[in-house]
Amino acid sequence: MKPHIIETHGLSYSFGKRQVLHNLELRVPQGTIFGFLGPNGAGKSTTIRILLGLLPVPKGQVMVHGQDLKDHRIDVLRRTGTLIEMPTLYRHLSGYDNLEMNRRMVQAPKSRVEEVLQIVGLTQDAHRKTKEYSLGMSQRLGIALALLSDPELLILDEPTNGLDPSGIREVRELIIRLNNEHGKTIFLSSHLLSEIEKCATELAIIDRGRTLYQGSLQHLYQGAFTSNVLQLETSNNSIAYKLLADHQYELLPQEADALAVQVHDKEQVALLNRLLVDNGIGVYRLSMNTHNLEELFLNMTKGEATPSAVL
Ligand X SMILES: Nc1ncnc2c1ncn2[C@@H]1O[C@H](COP(=O)(O)OP(=O)(O)OP(=O)(O)O)[C@@H](O)[C@H]1O
Question: What residues make contact with ligand X under the rule CB under 6 A?
Answer: 15, 20, 38, 40-46, 191
Q: Tell me the closest approach of the beta carbon of residue 124 to ligand X, in angstroms.
A: 34
Q: Which is nearer to ligand X, 41 or 58 (CB)?
A: 41
Q: Which is nearer to ligand X, 57 or 258 (CB)?
A: 57
Q: Which of 158, 157, 117, 161 is nearest to 141 (CA)?
A: 117
- Alpha carbon 202 to its chain centroid, in Å, reads 6
Q: Which of 88, 95, 179 is nearest to 132 (CA)?
A: 95
Q: Tell me the closest approach of the beta carbon of residue 48 to ligand X, in angstroms.
A: 8
H or E stretch covering 253: strand 250-255
Q: Which is nearer to ligand X, 40 or 248 (CB)?
A: 40
Q: Which is nearer to ligand X, 17 or 110 (CB)?
A: 17
Contacts with 141 (C-beta within 8 Å, 6 or more apart), sequence order: 87, 89, 95, 98, 99, 120, 122, 130, 133
> Is-contact 214 61, C-beta < 8 A?
no
C-alpha dist (Å) from residue 95 to 71, 150, 157: 35, 18, 21
Q: Which is nearer to ligand X, 85 or 97 (CB)?
A: 85
Q: Tell me the closest approach of the beta carbon of residue 209 to ligand X, in angstroms.
A: 7
Q: Tell me the closest approach of the beta carbon of residue 41 to ligand X, in angstroms.
A: 4
Q: Tell me the closest approach of the beta carbon of residue 298 to ligand X, in angstroms.
A: 15
